[in-house]
Structure 1
Amino acid sequence: MSRVRRGPWAAGMAGTPAAAMSDPSKPRLTTSAMIASLVSEGQRSSTAPFGHALVEAARNRPDIVGMTADLGKYTDLHIFGAEYPDRYYQMGMAEQNMMLAAAGMAHEGFVPFVTTYAVFASRRTYDFISQGIVEEGLNVKICCALPGLTTGYGPSHQATEDIAIFRGMPDLTIVDPCDALDIGQATHAIAAHQGPVYMRLLRGKVPLVLDEYDYRFELGRASLLRDGADVLVISSGLMTMRALEAAKLLETDRVSVAVLHSPTIKPLDEATIVREAGRGGRAVVVAENHSVIGGLGEAVAGALLRNGVAPPLFRQVALPDVFLDAGALPTLHDRYGISAEAMARSIKGWL
């Protein structure tokens, strides 16, 4: 049984009538809420970048193994499983057990890539990750789908506070890549990195945008994708894509927007952030697909405060500190202010 079906909300929220679920003679409808694509019409994309990158990374690395909690298909780890079936472990709906099994594998010299949904990793297995993996400094890579508001299934599956939960954990590297290029390169980088990593994933068809900006992922480094005189947007994850789109929208209003992509949340590239935020008297806006509490915005604010940098304006584009609604992603993104159009309206209103 797929994890999509677990819980009493499945029939109502997944768009699958209860009768179709219980009557095997009727076709089983697919749901758009769980696997909704972030690719807009006409946008370039790449399919399953994480799965394909992990296959490449594992080609000359027999120590790399894949482990999932009944979510191989929904985290693109099934691509790895098809290529290396003897190195693929289906652990069932038992995330806590899976994390400790990954710790055991790491103790034996393997490099487990563990996949589940971000809500399950952050809320359900925190103590097991902390004491079983990170405190021991084990080489486990925890790669999680459905970060922030990337599903319409409501609070049970929307990991709006995962970065806040994990940022306080010592010695855990946190990565929030933007697009297919970023995910592929980040997968190779964390495979080469020694130590525990938590990485957010976009799955399925993933937009491809950063190849237009001569971009290359570097663990622990932020990258200035475009410069601008009026506003500096510091962003991570899919919000970097939205920031680039909003910057183009704001050009028609003669607002010049710089975009600084920070795919590594921890350790944060404070040197680059402080330098760019202190240059030119620009407003600073932090954009993230995460709660306004405890994520990149507060990390950046703390870095600026510690380094004595006070921009003329500091604002956040982020999810509100509430349990979010269920529904269609485009509607929810506009409602909660993280669509490109909503972001452009906010920035224009703040200036």
Structure 2
Amino acid sequence: MSNPPNTGTNTDTGTGTGADERQPRGPVDSSRVPRFAGPATFARLPRLDEVGGRADVAVVGVPFDSGVSYRPGARFGGNAIREASRLLRPYNPAQDASPFALAQVADAGDIAANPFDIHEAVESVEAAAGELLDGGARLMTLGGDHTIALPLLRAVARRHGPVALVHFDAHLDTWDTYFGAEYTHGTPFRRAVEEGILDTEALCHVGTRGPLYGRRDLAEDARLGFGIVTAADVLRRGVDEVADQLRQRVGDRPVYVSVDIDVLDPAHAPGTGTPEAGGLTSRELLEILRGLAGCRLVSADLVEVAPAYDHAEITSVAASHTAYELTTLLARRIAAERENGPEQG
């Protein structure tokens, strides 16, 4: 894995100045260093090597988009999210939490994946993710296209067993093949079910919409074990009811959250490879994520940000806040487990 460059900038702890060495090391102090200065790590957090190579939450990029079926460019998504995240602040009022004080969050740089060989890329992502997990971190992964969800789930399942999945996306991503290829951004969750790394009693898509190839797509998706909350369902039921439904479906199982930014309407996320009209607002997505507080979140990913199509950085800003909410959920879960134990946390 490669790391963002080090400019030698000093950083403060997540609780502000004056904290002792036992406190997590937090973002650069924006009252001392302007937000537009210094390296663009996620939320201006320290690099992994600056916290001794160990973190509770590792924010890691996977600049890979060789699995896309339409517009390319998501390989540049992770760094666009990092740039947009310069405006994030240490306290999250929506969740009443200071995530960077609750847990050590660090930017682990990027996982290098072969852009010409999908099979090798999948293996590389799985191996690198496994190393980070073995080091005690939970992952907040910045894609990249949705192909990377499969190797990430493999690594997570080796640590936790089959996991529940909450999948935010305009699309099902449970198709079989494209042009005979098994590993693409439209197939990761079919492969994951086939490999036994998902808990088929607790799988859910959120925000799906748009045309399909046929009714068979929905029938096969249901056969794999997925429930669906469409974008129209979110509109009609409201975010609180949807979040409650998701919490009930995953229960106390370890859960992985995967967010394709195209779950948002193109008005809120134009910078993506396969946009579909009629999607969620950024506010709806953030509120549903906040409603997952208390779930046993073990890792998450955010994929398909393609900055080449992102005028005025609308998509990357939405993505940075989405990653921030997920990071806060992870940090809160870690803090709760330390206080109450893994099962009660």
- Which structure's relative contact order is higher, taking Cα pairs within 8 Å and 6+ residues apart? 2
Compare CA radii of gyration and give the structure with the larger one. 1
* The two structures share one fold, judged by TM-score above 0.5: no
